[in-house]
């Protein structure tokens, strides 16, 4: 296997174009093999194979820093950074982590188990590099689902003017469940303008090959690009924030990604590269149900069926969801609130039966708690279903808004 010859990102840089396709295929096969045995985050990792390969061909870790938000997109990164032989131990006791972990490898720049933190951390790392006089690059790979978390916008507000900082927006139209809200609609406008950006990059490459006048033609195109983009794309949030914007791009086209990443690197300015990936790519069951295979236990690789676990009794989440539905039938004031986790928290049936009283606020636990407090202030009975490990994001709201609002 070609993958067996990859011991560091330097080995990835030495491959030719044909070998890169083979490497991508073998990486997907290895992820499927291990996750089917150990469980883990499948769909998201299958979607970022080409993106991760391109990142390691353009940048040089650990001198350059690559941060994956939440971190469950980092399986390919682990395979390419010297942890292939230990990959069988993924998420096992004493084995390698399912997330980036600096203590595990110098190629892991930052650890995270929750979403929306990567841009803040990357900005801090980039600032530290600048203060130390280093010219290395920092890359934050953040999903469109994580972009629904307010912390990402707090960080974006401070990014302009920070050189050698690149934000890769991995847009697969999903977080865990389908994305909701105005941000998803906004990103759809960019997705619909992808044809313009493909034409632009093709014209640029063609003009650059023309002797003598090629660079002049490229310069002329740049002068009229602003008007064309304004007409075709209308407003661009990222450019309004002072960031250079590239995309949207096919996030599963390694060659294109490598070209644009190199362009952003040479530009040096703080940039947003908007890529559209297919969650679950390469495994039909995960492509069809990326939400089901987002985080999954052991499963049969041939049929895609999860292996039975426990004693067959219904889960706590299922019992909770059924009870809430029964109560909601008797009391029209009961509402259900989730932070992008309707399936995991047992609210799937509630969403179907009481859509007008079901609220998915995206990955925004802080907002969810205070939003529920507002409902309660007017006599409704909101139930915020949230994992205890995710509730850590909302301690201040629990104390200040929930316990003290009256």
List, as one string, the DSSP characters of 138-151.
Answer: EEEEEETTGGGSHH
**Structure pTM?**
0.81
Is residue 279 flagged as an active site residue? Answer: yes
Positive or negative, the CA dihedral 71, 72, 77, 78 is: positive
**Which residue among the candidates 30, 254, 258, 365 is catalytic per the annotation?**
365
Residue 223 pLDDT: 62
Residue found under tokens 């530009």: 267
Going by C-beta distance under 8 Å and a sequence separation of 6 or more, which residues neighbour residue 402? Answer: 369, 370, 372, 373
Residues of the chain below pLDDT 70: 173-205, 207-208, 212, 214-215, 218-219, 221-235, 308-312, 405-406
| Burial class of residue 310 in the structure, from the number of CB atoms within 10 Å of its CB (0-12 exposed, 13-18 middle, 19+ buried) | exposed
Is residue 365 flagged as an active site residue? Answer: yes
Residue 56 pLDDT: 98
316-402: same fold as 2-296?
A: yes
Residue 198 pLDDT: 59
pLDDT in tens, 365-398: 999 999 999 999 999 999 999 998 889 889 999 9
Contact assessment for residue 146 and residue 175, using Cβ atoms and an 8 Å cutoff: yes
Contact assessment for residue 144 and residue 187, using Cβ atoms and an 8 Å cutoff: yes
Task: Calculate ∠ Cα 382-185-163, nearest 5°.
Answer: 105
- Which of 3.40.50.1820, 3.40.50.970, 1.10.1740.10, 2.40.40.20 is the CATH number of 2-296? 3.40.50.970
Q: CA–CA separation, 329 vs 217, rounded Å?
A: 67
Task: Calculate ∠ Cα 393-394-400, nearest 5°.
Answer: 150
**Which residue among the candidates 57, 164, 279, 281 is catalytic per the annotation?**
279
Residue 363 pLDDT: 87
Is residue 356 flagged as an active site residue? Answer: no
Instruction: Look at the domain 316-402 and name its fold.
Output: Rossmann fold (3.40.50)
Instruction: Find out whether the peptide bond into 390 is cis, omega within 30 degrees of 0.
Output: no
The tokens describing 195, both together, are: 């044809």
pLDDT in tens, 239-287: 888 898 887 888 999 998 998 999 899 988 999 999 989 988 989 888 8
Residue 192 pLDDT: 44
Residue 8 pLDDT: 96
The tokens describing 27, both together, are: 């990486």
Listed by start position, the domains of the chain span 2-296, 316-402
The tokens describing 28, both together, are: 């997907």
**What is Dmax (Cα atoms) for the chain?**
78
- Rg of the chain over all Cα atoms, to the nearest angstrom: 23
Contact assessment for residue 27 and residue 3, using Cβ atoms and an 8 Å cutoff: yes
Residue 171 pLDDT: 87
How far are the Cα atoms of 76, 117, 271, 351 from residue 153, in angstroms, in the given order?
27, 10, 15, 28
Give the residue among 363, 338, 334 at the shortest CA–CA distance from 348. 338
As beta bridge partners, residue 383 has: 336
């Amino acid at each position: 296997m070609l993958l067996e010859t990859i011991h560091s990102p330097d080995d990835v840089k030495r491959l030719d174009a044909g070998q890169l396709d083979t490497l991508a295929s073998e990486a997907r096969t290895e992820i499927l093999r291990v996750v089917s045995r150990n469980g883990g985050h499948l769909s998201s990792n299958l979607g970022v194979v080409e993106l991760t390969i391109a990142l390691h061909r353009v940048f040089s870790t650990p001198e350059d820093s690559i941060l994956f938000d939440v971190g469950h997109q980092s399986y390919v990164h682990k395979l390419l950074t010297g942890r292939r032989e230990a990959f069988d131990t993924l998420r096992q006791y004493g084995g390698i982590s399912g997330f980036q972990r600096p203590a595990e490898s110098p190629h892991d720049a930052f650890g995270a188990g929750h979403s929306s933190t990567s841009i803040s951390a990357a900005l801090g790392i980039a600032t530290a590099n600048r203060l130390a006089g280093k010219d290395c690059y920092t890359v934050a790979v953040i999903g469109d689902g994580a972009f629904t978390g307010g912390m990402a916008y707090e960080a974006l507000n401070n990014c302009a003017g920070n050189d050698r900082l690149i934000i890769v927006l991995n847009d697969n139209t999903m977080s865990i469940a389908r994305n909701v809200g105005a941000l998803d609609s906004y990103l759809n406008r960019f997705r619909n303008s992808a044809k313009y950006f493909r034409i632009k990059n093709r014209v640029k490459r063609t003009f650059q090959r023309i002797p003598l006048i090629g660079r002049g033609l490229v310069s002329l195109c740049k002068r009229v690009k602003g008007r064309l983009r304004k007409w075709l794309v209308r407003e661009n949030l990222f450019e309004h924030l002072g960031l250079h914007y590239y995309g949207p791009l096919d996030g599963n086209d390694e060659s294109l990604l490598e070209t644009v990443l190199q362009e952003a690197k040479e530009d040096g300015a703080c940039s947003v590269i908007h890529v559209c990936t297919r969650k679950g790519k390469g495994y039909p069951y995960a492509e069809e149900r990326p939400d089901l295979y987002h985080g999954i236990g052991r499963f049969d690789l041939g049929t895609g069926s999860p292996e039975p676990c426990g004693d067959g009794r219904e889960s706590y989440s299922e019992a909770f969801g059924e009870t809430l539905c029964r109560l909601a039938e008797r009391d029209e004031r009961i509402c259900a609130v989730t932070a992008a986790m309707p399936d995991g928290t047992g609210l799937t049936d509630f969403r179907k039966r009481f859509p007008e009283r079901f609220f998915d606020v995206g990955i925004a636990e802080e907002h969810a708690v205070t939003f529920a407090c507002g409902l309660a202030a007017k006599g409704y009975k909101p139930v915020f279903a949230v994992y205890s490990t995710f509730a850590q994001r909302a301690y201040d709201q629990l104390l200040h808004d929930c316990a003290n609002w009256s």
